[in-house]
Amino acid sequence: MSLLRSSALAVLVLAGSPAAFAIGGYSDDIPNSTAGGGCNACHTSTSGNAPRNSFGSAWASAKGSVGIVAAWGSVFDDDSDDDGQDNGNELGDPCGVFSSGGTPARTTAISRPGDASSTSATPNAPDSDSDTVSNGCDNCPNNANTNQADADGDDVGDVCDTAGEGEGEGEGEGEGEGEGEEGEGEGEGEGEGEGEEGEGEGEGEGDDEGCGSSQVGTSVPMGGAAAAGVLALLVIGARRRRGARVSS
């Protein structure tokens, strides 16, 4: 066998080995698998020939039942090595939103999900409000709400719903209240006593057309008592003139 053929055969054997297939065929389907130890993420050692660890076994089982693309979504929220951190927390995808060939939510603080001695320093990151719920699955990522309460089911946390309540309330309240009240009653009292000025007009029009009418017509309006007094004087004067005419 020539050297060229031997080299070619060695390359084919290496390419077809479990180790080469493991890291080359599945690395895009598990977030941060290389950062998580390469083959060590799924196997008990860095060799692809080594037995699968607890995570590797769970992922292989999911791959067989739902397919390679959906396998990660089936195991991300499991804690395969029972170290208190879900597989997604350890491999940088706490919310299980990673898809094959994509970029995980976090690429730092990665640990091995099949090794209980390996844990992540920031398993929930990114977590802007530090409520232990990663941003990707937090219904109110900027307001701490560990319980993720959502009473109205609108996928927005209650703490975010209440944050904006009351804005604009009362705008315009009271506008126009009492409009027209000032005008009500305008004229109330207008004309109160209307006609008072004319009361007594014509009073005292007397027997003596000449004197009586001219004096009354030019007199200033007066009350009833004053008018009666004037009338009495006019009557007396008229009688005196009549008496003088008789005697003459």
Please give the pLDDT value at position 165: 58
Taking only the tens place, the pLDDT of each residue in 49-86 is 889 999 999 999 999 999 999 999 999 999 999 999 99
What average pLDDT does range 148-159 have in this prediction?
Answer: 94
Q: Which of 118, 81, 78 is nearest to 94 (CA)?
A: 78
Q: What would the 3-class secondary structure string for the chain be?
A: CCHHHHHHHHHHHHHCCHHHHHHHHHHHHCCCCCCCCHHHHCECCCCCCCCECHHHHHHHHHHHHHCHHHHHHHHCCCCCCCCCCCHHHHCCCCCCCCCCCCCCCCCCCCCCCCCCCCCCCCCCCCCCCCCCCCHHHCCCCCCCCCCCCCCCCCCCCHHHHHHCCCCCCCCCCCCCCCCCCCCCCCCCCCCCCCCCCCCCCCCCCCCCHHHHHHHHHHCCCCCHHHHHHHHHHHHHHHHHHHHHHHHC
What average pLDDT does range 36-61 have in this prediction?
Answer: 86
Total residues belonging to the chain: 248
Taking only the tens place, the pLDDT of each residue in 199-234 is 434 344 444 444 344 444 444 455 666 667 767 777
Domain boundaries, the chain: 3-125, 127-162, 209-213+223-247
pLDDT at residue 4 tops 70? no
Please give the pLDDT value at position 224: 64
* pLDDT, mean over the chain: 73
Residue 6 main-chain phi, psi, to 5 deg: -65, -40
Q: Which two tokens stand for residue 157?
A: 């946390």
pLDDT at residue 174 tops 70? no
Number of Cβ atoms within 10 Å of the Cβ of 133: 22
User: What's the pLDDT band for 245 if we cut at 50, 70, 90?
Assistant: low
Give the integer Cα–Cα distance in Å for 59 and 139: 28
Q: Which residues contact 2 (CB under 8 A, 6 or more apart)?
A: none
Give the integer Cα–Cα distance in Å for 191 and 212: 31
Whether pTM exceeds 0.85? no
